[in-house]
A and B are shown apart, each in its own frame.
Chain A
Amino acid sequence: DQQVKQNSPSLSVQEGRISILNCDYTNSMFDYFLWYKKYPAEGPTFLISISSIKDKNEDGRFTVFLNKSAKHLSLHIVPSQPGDSAVYFCAARGGGNKLTFGTGTQLKVEL
């Protein structure tokens, strides 16, 4: 039972354009959603989060949108930079601060 899904295993975007990464979830009890970024041979690093009571959170070039009725969230990166090339994991927080992760999307930003 995969409660958090990232249906696009990979995404390729040109430098300067917008990157949109998507995530769907099934458990309506999740209260926080987080995006983590992972470079090869490193652990995931926290990028941005959003509470279930909000529909948007912005931090610099990164914006996360939450559509609770559709159980869908997305991460927008504008403008995309080559250093943004990494695997992005969507995670949802349940009881006891337990995170459930999606399978990740490999973003490649091309020059």
Chain B
Amino acid sequence: EAGVAQSPRYKIIEKRQSVAFWCNPISGHATLYWYQQILGQGPKLLIQFQNNGVVDDSQLPKDRFSAERLKGVDSTLKIQPAKLEDSAVYLCASSSRQGNTYEQYFGPGTRLTVT
């Protein structure tokens, strides 16, 4: 079974530029998550999709971040314009029900550096 795919793996941009990240979840997983992991911290949920609908985007900075999951499969996360504090690893995860738990499977992440 293929895992969660993310691209690019690394991205360096200047502040005020825009950037987009792509995620392809595990086949059949209805739920998709985007996390932001700043160095020295744990992953923080930005947005959660159930199929192509948003379940939770309470921690997404909506003035600069946007995300979509067209057709309920792939997803893109965009930052426009980027700030220095956006430097982080952006992780995508997906899940489906496994018994009573909803274990989340993570992709390798995209490391963003904003200069």
User: Footprint of B on A, CB under 8 Å?
Assistant: 4, 6, 32, 34, 36, 41-46, 49, 51, 89, 91, 93, 96-104
Contacts and interface: CB of A to CB of B under 8 A. Distances in A.
Contacts of B4: 43
A93 B108 CA distance: 22
Contacts of B108: 41-43
Contacts of B44: 101
Top 7 nearest A-B pairs (CB, nearest first) are: A101-B42, A43-B106, A97-B102, A44-B106, A101-B43, A46-B103, A103-B42
Range class of the B interface residue count: 20 to 34
Contacts of A97: 31, 48, 95, 102, 104
Contacts of B48: 96-98
Contacts of A49: 101, 103
A60 B45 CA distance: 30
B93 A89 contact: no
Interface in B91-111: 91, 93, 95, 100-109
Contacts of A34: 101, 103
B7 to A, nearest CB: 13
Contacts of A32: 100-101
Interface string B51-62: 000011000000
Contacts of A89: 42-43
Nearest to A36: B106
Nearest to A31: B100
24 contacts: A32-B101, A34-B103, A41-B108, A43-B4, A43-B93, A43-B107, A43-B108, A43-B109, A44-B43, A44-B91, A45-B106, A46-B104, A46-B105, A89-B42, A89-B43, A91-B42, A96-B55, A96-B56, A97-B31, A98-B48, A98-B56, A99-B43, A101-B42, A101-B43
